[in-house]
């Protein structure tokens, strides 16, 4: 009888254990625009706790349109690639690396 009770408890808590396992070693970090746009928050990214700025050499990019940052819809069709350049205070800073028109 004891084995059956333990199995029922595991089935009930299966989803909860997955969520705690997923968020155990992860951090939400904000992605900021370049200095030209006054460091506005454009998104967030989930990374491991031991993620360092050395790993940003692997070319992480974020695609954004400038009209989303400026809250205008004039140049909505222009999408730019912003490279994640550095990690400061749990925030990713971006630079204009590649321009797409």
Nearby residues of 20 by Cβ (< 8 Å), 6 or more positions away: none
Q: Say how far apart CA 9 and CA 1 lie, in whole Å.
A: 13
Q: Say how far apart CA 19 and CA 54 lie, in whole Å.
A: 28
**What's the number of domains the chain is made of?**
1
Which helix H or strand E contains 67, and what residues bound it? helix 66-70
Which pLDDT does position 89 carry in this prediction? Answer: 81
Residue 22 belongs to what domain range? 2-98
Which pLDDT does position 101 carry in this prediction? Answer: 46
Model-level pTM greater than 0.85?
no
Q: Which residue has the higher pLDDT, 22 or 99?
A: 22
Give the Cα-Cα-Cα angle 36, 37, 39 (nearest 5 degrees): 105
Which pLDDT does position 65 carry in this prediction? Answer: 76
Reported as a single tens digit per residue, the pLDDT across 20-58 is: 666 777 888 888 888 777 777 887 888 877 777 777 777
Local structure of 65: helix, strand or coil: strand
**Section 52-67 average pLDDT:** 75
Q: Is the pLDDT of residue 75 over 80?
A: no
**Residue closest to 65 by CA, chosen among 73, 54, 57:** 73
Q: Is the pLDDT of residue 92 over 70?
A: yes
């Amino acid at each position: 009888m004891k084995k059956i009770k333990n199995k029922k408890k595991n089935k009930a808590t299966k989803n909860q254990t997955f969520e705690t396992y997923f968020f155990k070693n992860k951090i939400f970090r904000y992605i900021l625009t370049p200095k030209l746009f006054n460091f506005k928050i454009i998104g967030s990214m989930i990374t491991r706790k031991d993620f360092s700025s050395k790993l940003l050499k692997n070319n992480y990019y974020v695609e954004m349109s400038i009209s989303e940052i400026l809250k205008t819809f004039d140049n909505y069709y222009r999408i730019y690639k912003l490279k994640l350049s550095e990690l400061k205070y749990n925030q990713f800073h971006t630079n204009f690396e590649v321009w797409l028109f």
